[in-house]
Amino acid sequence: MKIRGILLPSTLLAAIIFITLPFGSATEFSFRDGGKTKHSLAAYRWILAQEDFLHYLGVSLRLALGAVFITLLIMVPTVAWLHLRAQKYRPLMEFLTLLPLVVPVVALSIGAQSALPEALQSNEYELSFMYVILAMPYTYRALDIGMSAIPLKTITEAARGLGASWIKAITFVIAPVIRNAVVASLFLTLALSLGEFTLTSLLHWDTFPTWVTSVSQQNIIGAIALSVFSLAAAFLFLFAIGLLTMRSKSDLPEGQE
């Protein structure tokens, strides 16, 4: 009985140490001022002085929004259609959208580099399209699970039966009930796009994550400070999504009487 009582707290303590050790160290490191003991905000001041900081932040944000836009345009209508009219193709689509998970990003990068037309490869929005592919196994599932939880077909038919046009059915019935699933999938796309490194660097583009790497060659403390900044941002962002998508799932009571 005694062992049971301390099992949970000791496990949690180990987890906290595991998480805070690198995070805490990096934070401490980022405040170092040249020497080993003096601390200051020098590294952060240095970052803000870099023109590239805002520039690459802008590039990453722009490409991520591009990916979000494509997801909204292609993924959302497709999954909605699968649930409304093409139920029998759901297993096939689930299989196809899972495949990008099987192929290592490195392998896909080399494929994109050798197969996509020059005109596309010279446009940075090429990355937005590829980010959508990388995120597809996750976005498809988020949308699919979200739409499975509600009888989309029945309520749409009910709305149509009550005299709503297709446009009205989409605006007043479909859109509101699938909102949570859509928001979750868009956030997933955004998060993945903002942090993507492998494909971006192998296709020779520069975004925020690749810029951080190049910074490390001239200013390691600056690069660590940037890492702390970007991880803290990613952390808050993804944690918010986590809680958001959690809440949208219904909590069935587990106990008996």
Query: Is residue 248 part of the contact set for another protein (CB under 8 A)?
Result: no
- For residues 15 to 54, the per-residue mask of contacts with another protein, x marking binding by CB under 8 A and - elsewhere, is x--xx-xxxxxx-xxx-----x------------------
User: Looking at 122, 154, 243, 250, which residue binds another protein (CB under 8 A)?
Assistant: 243
Distance (Å) of CA 211 to CA 64, 117, 172, 206 = 16, 26, 44, 6
Please write down the HEC assignment for all residues of 22-49.
Answer: HHHHHHHHHCECCCCCCECCHHHHHHHH
When binding is defined by CB under 8 A, the residue of 41, 104, 148, 175 that contacts another protein is 104
Q: Measured between alpha carbons, how far is 73 from 209 in angstroms, rounded to an integer? A: 26
What sign has the CA pseudo-torsion 117, 121, 126, 132? positive
Q: Minimum CB separation from another protein for residue 201, in Å? A: 8
Residue 57 engages another protein in binding (rule: CB under 8 A): no
Place of tokens 């099987």: 102
Q: Is 227 in the site for another protein (CB under 8 A)?
A: yes
Of 2 and 4, nearer to another protein (C-beta) is: 4
Please report, as a single letter, which amino acid is at residue 4: R
Q: How far is the CB of 224 from another protein (least distance, A)?
A: 5
User: Using CB under 8 A, which of 64, 136, 147, 174 touches another protein?
Assistant: 136
Dist. CA 97–CA 43, nearest whole Å = 42
